[in-house]
Every structure is written in structure tokens, then in C-alpha cells.
Structure 1
Amino acid sequence: MKKEECFYLGKIVSKFSFKGEVLIKLDTDEPESYVKMESVFIDYNNNLVPFFIERSSLHKSDLLRVKFEDVDTEEDADDLMKAEIYLPLYLLPKLEGDQFYFHEVIGFTIVDSAFGEVGLIKSINDSTAQALFEIDREGTEILIPMNDEFINTIDREKKIVQVTTPEGLIDLYL
């Protein structure tokens, strides 16, 4: 399995017991959806390696307490610290309406209600306080905040994200 075929679910943040249990910080609004998983892929030495789950339960709000098969000691768990956890993209629940996963709008066209066609979404920058659409307009990069108030509609069939940005925002880049 390749990373491009997967989505990031979270990261192993600490050991939980001396029997190899770990805590995974989940990157999701619905941690309860991931309690009954049978397996995950762990980014181990730059390879996605499948790990099977013996048992798991929610710990506090967004931590998943997991006991992996064949991870039976603190030393085994130490080896997995800070590792990222992935699942195949096909396991993502389908979103309806104006909800979307970041990866699914890459390549969509952004159309502003006042400006018109802005360009193609080449990526999403979520390393800032507010996630940003990174748009390519004939070689010029335009950044538009992914603010619910700016996003009007998403047309998955036509691959268009319709937005209304504050006056002058797009002109800043041109």
C-alpha cells in the first residue's frame, strides 16, 4: 500500500502500559468511528506496514488506546513512538453536500462569485492556523482561506468549488 492510497489517521504519542499498549492521537472529529478497526498501516522506516489490532478503546476524548498483535513489551512499544498511522482511502465515509476531504478537491477549479474563474486547486495548506486553498492561476499562486463563510457550494461532478471571497483578496496576488 502506498501513502497516496491512504489517509493520515493519527500518530502514536505515548505508551500506555508495560504490556505494549500505546495511545494514538487521532486526527478526526469522530474518534468513536475508529474504535472497531481490525488493522492500520504504520509508517515504519518510511514503509507502510500493516499492524493488526488485538483490542482498542477510546481514552479520554481523542486518544485511542490500542494493543497491537506482537507488540507485547515496553520495548516493542518504544519502537513505534511518534509513528504515523494511516488507513486506505476507501475506508473514508462519503461526505455529502458542501463537506469535503482535503484530498478530494485537489484539481477542482475555484470560481469566485465576483472575480470569476480563479484557477485550479493544487494543494491544501493545513500547516497554518487556518487551512488555505493553494490555487494555481497560470503559474501564479493564490491563497484563499478555507473559511465556511467563503465556500458557497461544491460541485463534485463538474469539479468546481464556488466561493465568495472578500473584495480585493484575489487581486492582491495579481
Structure 2
Amino acid sequence: MRKRKEKEKKPIRLLPILILLFIGLLGWYYTKSVEGIVIAISLALLLVIIFKIWLKSRATAKFRKAGIYEIDEMTGEEFEQYLGKLFEKRGFKVSYTKASSDYGADLILEDTEDIIAVQAKRYSGSVGVKAVQEIIGALKMYEATEAWVITNSYFTKQAEKLAETNDVFLIDREELMELILETK
């Protein structure tokens, strides 16, 4: 006979309750009525809702300004070209590898000090270990000093761990948007 799983009890978050209690007490202090308590708590909740909507609209505006939605619609090759232009604006000399037989790198960036092999992954899902493995293989092939994987998405935990172990620099969606906004 199988044991029934006990429902996990979610911890009660005490701070929001204490804040609402404090706001209710303020309402009572100034009005000496139950209506004052209700109005104070209602106004506080309304302000929280407005603040959350404002934060979400700022994030959406940031996405739009960075052009991340357009990047999401690009093909892999268009994404590589886009990144090449982005890094040229940042002062790198950019070389593109062949579409096939690229040995794991899509772009080679050069500045006065470094040669950077870049793997570009325009994905709708998470980028896994394979992308990190490919760029590690490209390091010696292109005599690169650094290896980067850039995506319009996010990385799996396994990819992050492998990258950290092998000194591979990962640029995910958030960092890509920051890079784009800094470059504009």
C-alpha cells in the first residue's frame, strides 16, 4: 500500500502581514474607524499593484528598445550577422566562420589583446551543454584566448557548470540586452 504524500506546507510570509497590520493601525490611528482601516489597506494594495504594473512596463520597454523581440524572429545566420555588427560597433575586428565545418565557432573577434571564439545560439528554449562543448573545441582550432557562447535565451545549469569549469564566458538574454543597450 502506497503512503499518501503529505501536502507541503508553504511557509507563511510574516513581513507582508505585519506591513498590512501596520497600515491598518495607521488607518485606525487617523480615523478611529473600521472604514479607515479598510481604506488604508485598500490604498496600500492599490499602490503595490500600480508599482508592479509599472515595473512590468519598464521591463517590456527595455525588451523593445533592445530589439530582443526582433532577434527572437531571426534565423541563426541572421543572428550571427547581427552579433558581428554589434561587436564591430564595440571596436572588435570580426571574422565569420563557414556555415558548415566551423569547428564550433561562428564568429572570431579580435582586439589588441585577445582572440575570442564565439558560438551564437538563437534559440527559443534553453541552451545546453553541447554549445559549451563546441566552443571549447574551437579554442585551439582558432588559437583563441577566450571562448564565449551568446544566446537570446538562457543556459541550463549543466551548461553553466561546464562553462565555469572551462572558463567559457556565457552571455544570456539579459546580458545580451544590456550589451545591445550599451552599444546603441
Q: Which has the higher helix share?
A: 2
Which bin holds the TM-score, normalised by the shorter protein?
under 0.3
Based on CA coordinates, which of the two structures has the bigger radius of gyration?
A: 2
Give TM-score scaled by structure 2 length.
0.21
Give TM-score scaled by structure 1 length.
0.22
